[in-house]
Copies of this chain bind each other. A is one copy, B any other.
Amino acid sequence: MAGDSEFDRDTAVTRREPGVYDIDLSAGWTIINAVNGGYLLSVLGRALADTLPHPDPFTVSAHYLTASQPGPAVVRTETVRTGRTLSTGQASLFQCDDEGNEVERIRVLASYGDLTTLPDDVRTTAAPPPIPPLEQCFGPDDAPAPIPGSSAITDRLMLKLDPATLGWALGAPSGKGEMRAWFGLADGRDADPLSLLLTVDALPPTAFEIGLKGWVPTVELTVHVRHRPAPGPLRVSITTRNLAGGFLEEDAEVWDSEDRLVAQSRQLARVRLG
């Protein structure tokens, strides 16, 4: 059912010419008025999947330049290197300002491969996050208090937050830089490597649990996709260990229904005290 899902429809890019893609950024993936950075990363990831000879993002590094708005955008891609196992590409997303000048929103470097060709060996000390069963977690609709900042994107996500990391929504943040949730797409579309680029940046900021309000814009976000996710809800754990000098890191892990670590990400974000 991938083809007709909200995620696939809203990340669909139209090739105008080789390496140039048109996209209408959907207002359906906004938080307050900002277009979600993970949604934007999925759009760029789809354009690169069309440009490069390999299908799956293995590592994607995005530097966020200016705030994107819902509406028309252009993605320009470049093939940097093609190899047997990996190929590397670059992509930028542009929108026009009021004077009609193109403004670059995001620039991405990414190395793509084919997850289905990787050997099955796994040696890991990583363990799935401690999170209660899905039915004991809370979403925007059934939270004891309405979750501040709930926005259009919440209608498109199945997001159930671990009560242990929901204190901020009740005015009692834990003080720990942790955010955990069950994650899926609201229309039931299964996760795949492209949707994982959205998943790593779809939870509320860990800064809320540290007791900070206000916005936490992403400066840079790098995602490693490590395995093709199995069907079923994902578990996402985000941790911030070091808030210093007005910046913090957010480390995300995404686990699939077969207890495999399918994605890791880290972002550097600015703390804008509200």
Contact = CB atoms under 8 A, between A and B. Distances in A.
B227 A122 contact: no
Contacts of A115: 245
Contacts of A245: 115, 118-122, 226-227
Interface string A1-23: 00000000000000000000000
A261 interface: yes
A177 B58 CA distance: 21
A111 B62 CA distance: 11
Interface string A209-240: 01000000001101010110000000000000
Nearest to A266: B266
A244 B122 contact: yes
Nearest to A245: B118
A249 interface: yes
A2 B20 CA distance: 46
A210 B242 contact: no
A65 B84 CA distance: 12
Interface of A: 58-59, 61, 63, 65-66, 80-81, 85-86, 88, 90, 104, 107-111, 115, 118-126, 176-177, 210, 219-220, 222, 224, 226-227, 241-247, 249, 260-261, 264, 266, 268, 270
